[in-house]
Amino acid sequence: MSTETPASQLHFIGQIVRDDLASGKHSVIHTRFPPEPNGYLHIGHAKSICLNFGLASEFAGTCNLRFDDTNPSKEDVEFVEAIQRDVKWLGFGWAELRHASDYFEVFYRSALKLIRDGKAYVDDLSAEQMREYRGTLTEAGRNSPYRDRSVEENLDLFERMRAGEFADGAKTLRAKIDMTSGNINMRDPAIYRIRKVHHQNTGDAWPIYPMYDYAHCLSDALEGITHSLCTLEFEDHRPLYDWCVDNVDLKNHPDLWQPLVDAGLSTAPSKPRQIEFSRGNLNYTVMSKRKLLTLVGENLVDGWDDPRMPTIVGVRRRGFTAASIRLFWERIGVSKQNSIIDMSVLEGCVREDLDAAAPRRLGVIDPLKLVITNLDAGHNEELTFPNHPKDESFGTRSVPFSPELWIEREDFAEVPPKGFHRLKPEGEVRLRGVGIVRCDEVVKDADGNVTELRGTLDLDSRTGMPGSERKVKGTIHWVSARHAIAAEVRLYDRLFDVVDPDDDSDGKTYKDHLNPNSRRVVQGYVEPAAAGATREDRMQFERLGYFVADIADHTADRPVFNRVVTLRDSWAKQQ
């Protein structure tokens, strides 16, 4: 292991890991990323992915991908496959692929042990009654009337639960801890419930399923996880995490996990340490899976991979790079202080990555025709342009040029505002890579709309000519109309028009704050080299922003580009 400390290890969790290795508490660290397969991952999950896999990699440890599939009614194989793709796309691989369902028999045996030890009991209270008995933050809970059932009765009832004898919700298995505890999570929490639902991995074998707090900690212990990293809302759950690990005591009861050995899933149980860190929250968006599911289910967006969504599949389709997301979370760091991060910080990381990695191309998204009248109508030539102005290793390309060009409509003003340095009547501007052109005539339609410009090119201002150094204040880009390829261009912006869509203090919900201008589709033109891009190729359309060939819809004969980000933060001026 390198003696130089990576920047991403300078946070408090990195320090804990370093100290544990230095003291000999652990010889190798083992982390895990444990998503529930009940939806698509979002940018906030990427923080946990980068942290867990990143620490394992930097400290020469291992990291498992484990699906917390204990609630099959909300889970789907589609989500399982999407999560694996997302983790791989972000640049990480897992030591082992596991599922909580791999351990169902161990969980069951462990529950039997707790019952035999007098530390768990079968309860007949309904969910509503359990909430009533639990008490409040200021009032202690009350013991269930079923709390003092004998060990024999509890074993009998739990085994009958396992056999499917009782209806959903009729009984639960609860840990027997302390109904007067100041921590509500310790007031005899449920650890098993009856749920007769088909499971994607185990079929109909189990009519009972373990609760998250019970299954998660035992899964960590079974996999030999050393550092169980989770977000701050689980801090109050840590005493229950430790209680389950300590009282089941897998390490000293190998009979409990013998089924894993028999199944070829080697294990060496550990006592993991749960460590909490702050969530990754961004402004101008929502991160709640429930709200994201509503957006998709009510067709308020175009699916989980809508480029406006904060899902990983969404930002990937938008054109964000895996490297920029990793860079973003590395810069944000890891702390115990919850905060909301400005979206512009993420967009800045995307710009930084693409500025170095994206080749340049010419494209026009709001076309206005410019005809150069002092060139023959059949004039045609190929100009050589660099693919990247800052990196010669990108090479060069040929760009066709002809007398009829498409320019950006906003690059012409009939009545220019103060400080306007682009094309205007009788004004001059430099055509990128060509020379200086003068606007001689403005053509309008019957309604007075400008439909075409006509002008003359100063031939003496072309590259290699005596007047090539003549100065004009503005430079504009263009595409040869004769050679241009028509393209659909999708201009994406932030999905919500307020900083905190979750804030309902104004009486409105997040759905009321959807930005009506978050998606605009225009028909533009691009040079042939841009049209020839393959799906997910990213490039900068000079002067316009960074764009990506759509991962689903782009073809060479029907190009479709998504705007990734503008060249500058267009929202900064609005705040």
448: annotated binding-site residue? no
46: annotated binding-site residue? yes
40: annotated binding-site residue? no
11: annotated binding-site residue? no
- The contacts of residue 97 (CB under 8 Å, 6+ apart) are 64, 65, 66, 84
Of 539, 521, 533, 538, which is closest to residue 559 (Cα–Cα)?
533
Among the listed residues 74, 279, 519, 543, the single catalytic one is 279
For 501-562, give the DSSP string. Answer: TT--TTS--GGGGB-TTSEEEEEEEE-HHHHTPPTT-EEEETTTEEEEE-TTT--SSS-EEE
- The contacts of residue 399 (CB under 8 Å, 6+ apart) are 362, 382, 383, 384, 385, 433, 480, 527, 529
Among the listed residues 18, 36, 153, 488, the single catalytic one is 36
Burial (Cβ within 10 Å: 0-12, 13-18, ≥19) of residue 195: middle
Of 272, 271, 250, which is closest to residue 261 (Cα–Cα)?
250
CA distance 90 to 84: 10
Report angle CA 558, 562, 566 to the nearest 5 degrees: 140
The verdict on whether 404 is a catalytic residue reads no
532: annotated binding-site residue? no
45: annotated binding-site residue? yes
- The contacts of residue 436 (CB under 8 Å, 6+ apart) are 428, 429, 430, 457, 458, 461, 467, 470, 472
Q: Strand, helix or coil at 385? A: strand
99: annotated binding-site residue? no
CA distance 228 to 221: 10
231: annotated binding-site residue? yes
Q: Strand, helix or coil at 29? A: coil
Q: How many CA within 13 A on the CB side of residue 355?
A: 11
Among the listed residues 32, 113, 289, 317, the single catalytic one is 289
289: annotated binding-site residue? yes
CA distance 100 to 219: 6
The verdict on whether 279 is a catalytic residue reads yes
At 403, list the tokens: 């007398």
38: annotated binding-site residue? yes
37: annotated binding-site residue? yes
Evaluate whether 221 touches 250 at the Cβ level (below 8 Å): yes
Per the listing, tokens 């050589």 go with: 384
5: annotated binding-site residue? no
Backbone angles phi, psi at 68, to 5 degrees: -85, 80
Backbone angles phi, psi at 416, to 5 degrees: -70, 140
The verdict on whether 159 is a catalytic residue reads no
Binding-site residue ranges? 36-38, 42-48, 68, 212, 231, 287-289
List, by residue number, the catalytic residues: 36, 279, 289
Binding-site residue ranges for ATP? 36-38, 42-48, 231, 287-289
Binding-site residue ranges for L-glutamine? 68, 212
